[in-house]
Amino acid sequence: MTPWTSRPISLFPWLCAALFLVMAPMASSQTLSVQPLNVVGTVSPADWEAYRSRFVEDNGRVVDTANGNISHSEGQGYGLLLALAAADRSAFERIWNFTFTELLIRDDGLAAWKWDPASKPRVTDRNNATDGDLLIAYALAKAGAAWQEPRYTTAAQKLAKAIGKTTFSRNGPSLTLLPGAHGFGASDRPDGPVVNLSYWVFEAFPVMAALAPEYEWSRVWRDGVMLLQQTTSGRIRLPADWISLHNGLQPQPADGFPPEFGYNSLRIPLYLYESRND
């Protein structure tokens, strides 16, 4: 399995600006319910058209133009959130249909993370990316509430349950979130488990808890914040992208990854702000 070291670079500036508008009113103060909050229309038609025309194909595929025009579960999740905020139900349905038919092909209910138009089969890595799964489930839950569409709510619940069952991992006294179902656990790597704090989509956890209350979402939230505090105590005060939690010892940069706070970790303060977790 290839780790996700190349993620949606060209989409990112658009997403930071647009998702700040989208998710901030969606964020919940840890109330465990899916509220039909007033998010539809928080992205202007002009902004949505600029994003859609550049990155979204007519069949609902969200294209990562900086990485060989691949698609991935994370990009599909962002596309769903933006379509919802732009009140474009037709585009939302197309993006969801592509996601459902092309990526939700795993037996455990999670989405395969990587789809490449230049390859056959198109899915070139069947492992999941947990942040992508969270974003998709979050968007579906919000759309189900906003548009009173039970299909979306049911799909969100199924995905939330799969995330809790497959990616939650106990590590000593802590409960952590694995970046993928395979390749990151204690049994997968000598320095495992290995985590990435930018995969904690903090504002989604209260919604996931409403969808799948049998899993300890609030604890994953809390332990993620604690891990962030543990890994930002040095001179630079920024966590490494990939962190080893081996044997419950002090978190360290994981083997085989650059010990750096990279581009994708810019999502950490964004997600924290959106969750109102200060």
Indicate the burial class of 248 (C-beta count within 10 angstroms; 0-12, 13-18, 19 or more): exposed
**Gap between the Cα atoms of 61 and 130, Å rounded:** 19
Tell me the two tokens of residue 66: 């900086």
The reply to whether 2 falls in a domain is no
- What is the CATH number for 86? 1.50.10.10
Give 25's contacts (C-beta < 8 A, 6+ positions apart).
Answer: 37, 38, 39, 42
The reply to whether 77 falls in a domain is yes
The reply to whether 153 falls in a domain is yes
The reply to whether 6 falls in a domain is no
Domains: count for the chain: 1
The answer to whether residue 131 is catalytic is: yes
Residue scoring higher pLDDT (221 or 16): 221
Catalytic residue among 64, 74, 93, 125: 74
pLDDT digits (tens, 9 = 90+) for 43-71: 999 999 999 999 999 999 999 999 999 99
The answer to whether residue 188 is catalytic is: no
The reply to whether 4 falls in a domain is no
Catalytic residue among 88, 102, 131, 274: 131
pLDDT digits (tens, 9 = 90+) for 198-241: 999 999 999 999 999 999 999 999 999 999 999 986 677 899 99
